[in-house]
Amino acid sequence: MDVLKEKFLDLLAQKYDSEEKVVTEIINLEAILDLPKGTEHFVSDLHGEYQAFQHVLRNGSGKVKEKIRDIFKDELTEEEINEFATLIYYPEEKLQLIRNQFDNNQELNEWYVKTIDQMIRLIPYASSKYTRTKLRKALPKQFIYVIEELLYKTDEYTNKKHYYSKIVQKVISLGQADKLIIGLAYTTQQLVVDHLHVVGDIYDRGPEPDKIMEALINYHSLDIQWGNHDILWIGAFSGSKVCLANIIRICARYDNLDIIEDVYGINLRPLLNLAEKYYEDNPAFRPKRHSNKQQSEEEQLQITKIHQAIAMIQFKLEMPIIKRRPYFNMSKRLLLEKVDYEKNEITINGKTYPLENTCFTTVNPDQPDELLEEEKQVMDKLLFSVQHSEKLARHMKFLLKKGTLYLKYNGNLLIHGCIPIDGNGNMEKLVIENKAYAGRELLDIFEQYLRHAFANREETDDLATDMVWYLWTGEYSSLFGKREMTTFERYFISDKATHKERKNPYYYLREKEETCRNILEEFDLDPDQGHIINGHTPVKEIDGENPIKANGKMIVIDGGFSKAYQSTTGIAGYTLLYNSFGMQLVAHQHFSSKEDVLRNGNDVLSVRRLVDKELERKKVSETNVGEKLIQEINMLNSLLKYRYMK
Q: 64-68, 164-168, 178-182, 485-489: which has the minimum mean pLDDT?
A: 164-168
Kindly state whether residue 536 falls inside one of the protein's structural domains. Answer: no
Partnered with residue 43 across adjacent β-strands are 198
- Answer for the pair 81, 69: CB distance below 8 angstroms, yes or no: yes
Contact 119, 150 (CB under 8 A): no
Average pLDDT over residues 119-146: 90
* Terminal alpha carbon distance of the chain: 14
Clarify whether residues 121 and 240 are in a common domain.
no
pLDDT at 567 over 80: no
CA separation for the pair 562, 202 (Å, rounded): 10
Would you call 133 exposed, middle or buried from its count of C-beta atoms within 10 A (0-12, 13-18, 19+)? exposed
Of 449, 471, 492, the residue that ends a domain is: 492
Residue 428 dihedral angles phi and psi, to the nearest 5°: -80, 145
| Helix, strand, coil shares, percent, the chain, to 5 | 55, 10, 35
| 252 and 377 assigned to the same domain | yes
**Residue 156: CA atoms inside 13 Å, Cβ hemisphere, count?**
0
Bridge partners of residue 526, in order along the sequence: none
Percent of the chain with pLDDT over 90: 65
Compute the distance between CA of residue 104 and CA of residue 100 in angstroms, rounded to an integer: 10
Query: Where among 450, 474, 492 does a domain terminate?
Result: 492
* Chain mean pLDDT for the chain: 90
- Confidence bin at 156 (pLDDT 50/70/90): low
Last residue of a domain, one of 147, 167, 192: 192
The total number of structural domains that make up the chain: 3
DSSP code string of 130-155:
S-HHHHHHHS-GGGHHHHHHHHT---
Q: What is the mean pLDDT of residues 321-340?
A: 96
Residue 307 within any structural domain of the chain: yes
Considering only residues 55 and 291, tell me which one the structure prediction assigns the higher pLDDT. 55
pLDDT tens digits along 392-449: 999 999 999 999 999 999 999 999 999 999 999 999 999 999 999 999 999 999 999 9
Q: CB under 8 Å, gap of 24 or more: what pairs does 165-168 form?
A: 168/112, 168/113, 168/116, 168/117
**376 and 451 fall within a common domain:** yes
Name beta bridge partners: 619: 36
For residues 529 and 526, what is the distance between their CA atoms, to the nearest angstrom? Answer: 6
Provide the pLDDT for residue 152: 81
Residues 100 and 14 in one domain: no
What is the amino acid identity at position 420? Answer: P
Confirm whether 41 is domain-assigned. no
In whole angstroms, give the CA distance from residue 391 to residue 485: 30
- Considering the domain architecture, whether residues 25 and 86 belong to the same structural domain is answered as no
Query: Based on the domain organization, do 114 and 20 belong to the same domain?
Result: no
Least confident span in 61-65, 252-256, 397-401: 61-65
Q: 282 and 402 share a domain?
A: yes
Mean pLDDT of 31-59: 91
Q: Do the domain assignments include residue 555?
A: no
Asked if residue 568 belongs to a domain, the reply is no
Give domain status of residue 460, yes or no.
yes
Establish if 605 belongs to a structural domain. no
One domain for residues 172 and 291: no
Do 487 and 357 belong to one domain? yes
Question: Looking at residues 42-71, what average pLDDT do you find?
Answer: 91
d(CA 277, CA 306): 11
Is the domain of 234 the same as that of 321? Answer: yes
**Distance separating alpha carbons of residues 312 and 157, to the nearest angstrom:** 80
Q: What is the pLDDT of residue 570?
A: 52
Q: Are 203 and 48 in contact (CB under 8 A)?
A: yes
Q: 17 and 83, same structural domain?
A: no
Quick one: CA dihedral 283, 287, 288, 291, positive or negative? negative
What's the confidence (pLDDT) of residue 599? 76
Kindly indicate the confidence band of residue 500, based on its pLDDT and cuts at 50, 70 and 90. Answer: very high
546 residue type, one letter: N
Helix or strand holding residue 581 (H, E): none
**Domain limits for position 28:** 3-35+623-644
3-state secondary structure 488-504: HHHHHCCCHHHHCCCEC
284 lies in some domain: yes
29 & 82 share domain: no
